[in-house]
Every structure is written in structure tokens, then in C-alpha cells.
Amino acid sequence: MNAILNISAYKFVPLPDAAQLREQLLERAQALGLKGTVLLAEEGINLFLAGPGEAVRSFVAQLHADARFADIVPKESWSAHQPFKKMLVKVKPEIIRMNHPAIRPAEGRAPAVPAATVKRWLDQGHDDEGRPVVTLDTRNDFEVDQGTFDNAIDWRISKFSEFPQAVLDHQAELQGKTVVSFCTGGIRCEKAAIFMREAGLDHVYQLEGGILKYFEETGSAHYHGNCFVFDERRGVGADLAALQR
């Protein structure tokens, strides 16, 4: 029986009180018996939590009571076992490290495209204006190896901080195309899309909600393999179920 609810969510929003929030969120999560990781930074929040459904949803309801987090909608999946060993809440310089402090999604994100639109574009082979569409995997090489979109661009980066230089090295290859950046849950492709637009690429979008939302809304069309996740499940299929060992 799948009794453990797994959620992931993030939001880029200024959090000057990240250190104080750390104590509050850790206390709440521990009181509810949850496990996972919450990352806080001046730029926002990124969380991965698991526990009994009622407890997880209670934590989310308390999070929504803070106006800054009121519109967070976690991605959900279920598993038979708790995939985390402990509960950690950390304050970091960035919730996803890019080493480009000028990239600040809270000040305005790049355009996002929903899963259904991406599927339609891939079905027809071009966007609604006739431009060729390419998908760009912003994840690390070992994640890509577990599964990715058919014919996705993969620059074999080993950490996200290598992504900006990879864009500059391959920028000419992307000119004139509609580029859909994607990642697991949306956080990396959000920063990636902003960087690419600032680098001068005109038709760049982020896949709204990442691969997990794509699975949830469209299934596995145009995607082969599984989606790597950073917990003991190691990966989920298009049905968002943990891989069988």
C-alpha cells in the first residue's frame, strides 16, 4: 500500500528572514513526523518532503499561511516507504546553485509553457509560429542517463553551475529555434531560461513544473526512460510511481 505522500515544490521569492524561517519550518516538520529536505536562501525556498498524507498536507497548509508561499502548489506522488532518512532544513546562498547572482527569478521569470503545449509542439514538430522546437535538458549527466525527452540537447554537464558556459559555447546552435528548457521539477530550467534570454536567445521557454508535471499531465509521450529523483526511490516512472528494485 502506498501510504507515504512525497511532495516537491519551490518558489523564488525574497526571504531576508531565511535563518528565522529555518527554525520554524524544522520545528513544524519534526512535530508532524516528516522527513526530507528544505532549502532556504535569500532568493527563495526549495523543498522535498515525505510522510503520511494528512501530515504532509498539514505542513503545506501552514506554509500557505505565509503570504509569500500562498500560491505554492506541490507536485505529489505516493510510495510504499519513506524515501528520506532524516529531516533537514538548511540555509544556502542559492536554492539551486548557478553562481550567477544577477539571475534573480523573483524579479521576473522567463515565459513558461505548459506540458500539454510542449507535447503538441513535439507532436507537430514545430511551435505555433512554425519554428523548429528543441528540448534542452538542464540536468546533470547522470540524471539524463536515466531518462530524457527524445532527441533532447544534452551538454553533459556534471553540475548546474557549468550550464551558463555551456550556453555560451553552444549559443549559435540554438539561434532561430524555439528552445524549451526542462529539468526535474522546474527550478533549474527557470534559472536556465532567464540566463539564455539574457544571453540573447529570443525564443526560450521553461517547461512549467518540469518533467514531473509533464508526467502528471501528459504521461510519457516523447520521453524515454525514467526521471531521476534525489531520494532513496532514485527515480520515478511516467506514472510517478517509484521504480521497482
Q: Which residues are annotated as catalytic?
A: 183
Residue 33 carries which DSSP code? T
Give the integer Cα–Cα distance in Å for 99 and 130. 35
Handedness of CA 33, 7, 227, 193 (dihedral sign): negative
Who contacts 12 (Cβ-Cβ below 8 Å, separation ≥6)?
43, 44, 95, 104, 105, 106, 109, 190
Give the integer Cα–Cα distance in Å for 11 and 75. 13
Asked whether 225 and 196 are in contact (CB, 8 A), the reply is no
Owner of C-alpha cell 516537491: 8
Pairing state of beta strands 133-137 and 44-52?
Answer: unpaired
Residue type, 130: G
The x, y and z cell numbers of residue 243, run together, are 521504480
User: Residue 45: which of 76, 94, 90, 11 has the closest Cα?
Assistant: 11
